[in-house]
Amino acid sequence: MRNPVPLLHDFLHDTARRLPEKVALVAQKRRVTYAEIEASANALAHALAARGVSRGDRVVIFAENTVETVVAFWAVLAAGAVVSIVSPLTKADKLTYLLNDCRAVALIADGHLARVFVGAAARAPHLRTVVVTGTFDPARLEGLPGVVAWADALAGEPVHLPPPRRCLEVDLAAIIYTSGSTGDPKGVMLTHRNMLTAATSVLSYLETAEDDVILGVLPLAFDYGLYQVIMACAVGARLVLERGFAYPAQVLEVIVEEKVTGFPGLPTLFAVLAELDHAGAYDFSSIRYVTNTAAALPVRHIRVLREIFPNARIFSMYGLTECKRCTYLPPEDLDRKPTSVGIAIPNTELWLVGEDGEKLGPGEVGQLVIRGATVMKGYWEKPEATARKLRPGPIPGELVLYTGDLCRLDEEGYLYFVGRMDNIIKSRGEKVAPREVEDAIHAIAGVKECIVVGVDDPLLGQAVKAFVVPAAGATLAPREIILACQRRLSSFMVPKYVEILGELPTTNTGKTTIPPPKPA
Partner 1 sequence: MSSIHARVRRFITTNFYVPPEEPLADEESLLDRGVIDSTGVLEVIAFLESEFGIAVKDEEMLPANLDSVASLVAFVERKRA
Which residues are near partner 1 by CB under 8 A?
88-89, 112-113, 115-116, 243-250, 268-269, 272, 276-279, 428, 459-460, 479, 483, 486-487, 491-492
User: In sequence order, what are the residues at sequence separation of 6 or more whose Cβ sits closer than 8 angstroms to the Cβ of residue 400?
Assistant: 369, 370, 371, 375, 390, 391, 392, 393, 394
Report the residue number, 196 or 215, with the smaller CB distance to partner 1: 215
Please state the closest distance from residue 260 (CB atom) to partner 1, in A.
18
CA distance 45 to 167: 14
Q: How far is CA 47 from CA 148, 300, 341, in A?
A: 10, 50, 44
Residue 308 or residue 390: which is nearer to partner 1 going by CB?
308
Question: Which C-beta is closer to partner 1: that of 54 or that of 491?
Answer: 491
Identify which of 200, 195, 240, 227 has the alpha carbon closest to the alpha carbon of residue 291. 227
In the complex with partner 1, the residue whose CB is nearer, 382 or 426, is: 426
Q: Least distance in Å: CB of 286 to partner 1? A: 19
Minimum CB distance to partner 1, residue 423 (Å)? 22
Q: What does the alpha-carbon distance between residue 1 and residue 393 come to, in Å, rounded to a whole number?
A: 38
Compute the least distance from the CB of residue 443 to partner 1, in Å: 15
User: What is the C-alpha to C-alpha distance for residues 389 and 368, in angstroms, rounded to an integer?
Assistant: 11
Query: Please, what is the minimum distance in Å from the beta carbon of residue 282 to partner 1?
Result: 9
Nearer to partner 1, 236 or 265 (CB): 265
Residue closer to partner 1 by CB (options 209, 483) is 483
Residue 140 or 337 with smaller CB distance to partner 1: 140
The neighbouring-strand residues paired with 352 are: 368
HEC per residue, 213-255: EEEECCCCCCHHHHHHHHHHHHHCCEEEECCCCCCHHHHHHHH
- Distance of alpha carbon 337 from alpha carbon 413, whole angstroms: 12
Query: What is the closest distance, in whole angstroms, from the C-beta atom of residue 248 to partner 1 in the complex?
Result: 6
**Closer residue to partner 1, CB minimum distance, 269 or 320:** 269
Q: How far is the CB of 402 from partner 1 (least distance, A)?
A: 33
Shortest gap between Cβ of 245 and partner 1 (angstroms)? 5
- Other beta carbons within 10 angstroms of residue 456's beta carbon come to 8
CB nearer partner 1, residue 179 or residue 268: 268
- β pairing state of 327-329 and 343-344: antiparallel
β partners of residue 168: none
Q: Are 75 and 50 in contact (CB under 8 A)?
A: no
In Å, what is the CA distance from 513 to each residue of 58, 151, 466, 504, 516? Answer: 40, 54, 12, 7, 9
Closest separation between CB of residue 141 and partner 1, Å? 16
How many residues belong to the chain? 520
For every residue of 465-480, DSSP letters joined together read EEEEEEPTT----HHH
